[in-house]
Chain A
Amino acid sequence: MTLKNTPERWGAVSQALHWLVVLLILAVATVGLVMDELPRTPKYFWVYTAHKSLGITVLALMLLRLGWRLYAGGVPPVAGTPRWQATVASATHWLLYALALAMPLSGWLYDSASGLRPFRWFGLFTMPKLTGPNEWLADRARDAHELLFLLLVALVVLHAAAALWHHLIVRDETLARMLPRRRTRTPEPEDPDHDA
């Protein structure tokens, strides 16, 4: 596998960034949903710090990823993809980039405007505040954070469903070329007892 992207498949850097961000977003979203249920006492504040730290990590990786995408280019749709599908896919990809950047930014703004306590990234260094305490701004940033999350969930579902549809129904290379090992797509024999 090459580092850079080729017309046939995503290179190692794009793949690593893609799947790393997938794992981090799953983790940060899980922690984010769980922490809303926790008592707001110092005993559990590390959970909030973990959520914020994971989010800032996503932000940093997404900036790297955006830079790499602009430098290394994308991979064109597999041959024969209808134009409308390519357009929807491309729009989804760029919206996902935008949301994966806007989510941590709105969270960071919410944290800053709340002004409750210092935010140390995984306890290692203190993150700068984007703004001083501002209750109005904190409320807006929190609303945005929640709304963007719902949008992100909707787009991730669309994106993943499309990838699985390509892989399982259309049986083309769309998903396989974002996977580390090249899967030779020999059609499996139809076996009614075997769940694919």
Chain B
Amino acid sequence: MTPRLTTPAAVAAMLVAMMAAPARAADYVQAPGSSLAFATKYDGEVFSGRFGGFDTKLRFDPERLDDARLEVTIQLAGTSTGNADRDSTLAGSDFFNVARFSRATYVAERFRAVDDGYVADGTLTLRGVSRPVALHFTWTPGNPALLSGRATVKRLEFGVGGGDWADTALIPDEVAISTRVFLHPAP
């Protein structure tokens, strides 16, 4: 479970931790123009959507992968797929249930280099369920730096689209996620 920043004790602990660890040059925060999208299909009809918003914090140095950390907060309310009926269904209890779970989080602390970039073996917490999700990405240094990544999320593991919607012949279990995050060095 991720620490909740709602109690004074948690905030104090966080502040102490921040003061104890000197800021690193490889700390980044999300810059404007970033995108996080998903794509799936209904009865063969492909559609894609964007989440209501997301925020990325990254510590990354290709030379120090063991020290890397990625934390993404995804706002589920306001998810838009280009159809108001579909959007309200997605926000409803059968899918994201934004009334109870307004946001999802993705936290990764284990990174490895692969042929075409990197893989973060992180944990996605969505709809109150936490499961491992691998994020494949490429890294383009600069200011802003660019993290361009893909992941596959099995929606049914998280109870997204249960009940009447569980039939994978209508909606495949695997949802494609793609992201392009521009990153500024943290102030």
Contacts and interface: CB of A to CB of B under 8 A. Distances in A.
Contacts of A40: 85, 89
A42 B47 contact: no
B58 to A, nearest CB: 33
A116 B41 CA distance: 9
| Interface range on chain B (Cβ under 8 Å from partner) | 10 to 19
Contacts of A116: 42, 45, 83, 85-86
B82 A115 contact: yes
Contact of B83 (A41, A42, A43, A133): A133
B42 A43 contact: no
A135 B47 CA distance: 13
Contacts of A41: 94, 163-165
B12 interface: no
A115 B43 CA distance: 11
A115 B170 CA distance: 15
Contacts of B84: 135, 139
Contacts of B83: 114-116, 133, 135, 138
The majority secondary structure among interface residues of chain B is: mixed
Nearest to A43: B164
B45 A42 contact: no
A7 interface: no
Interface residues of A, number: 13
B44 interface: yes
Contact of A115 (B47, B89, B94, B167): B47
A149 B86 CA distance: 24
Given A41-B94, A135-B83, A117 B45 contact: yes
B165 A135 contact: no
A117 B43 contact: yes
A43 B94 CA distance: 13
Nearest to A135: B82
A139 B45 CA distance: 19
A96 B143 CA distance: 64
A118 interface: yes
Nearest to B170: A42
A133 B87 CA distance: 14
B156 to A, nearest CB: 15
A133 B82 contact: yes
A118 B82 contact: no
A135 B45 CA distance: 15
Given A116-B86, A135-B82, 4 more contacts: A41-B163, A115-B47, A133-B47, A135-B83
10 contacts: A42-B167, A114-B83, A115-B45, A115-B82, A118-B45, A133-B47, A133-B82, A133-B83, A135-B84, A139-B84
Which 10 pairs, one residue from A and one from B, show the smallest C-beta to C-beta distance? A41-B164, A117-B43, A43-B164, A117-B45, A42-B164, A117-B42, A135-B82, A133-B82, A118-B43, A114-B83
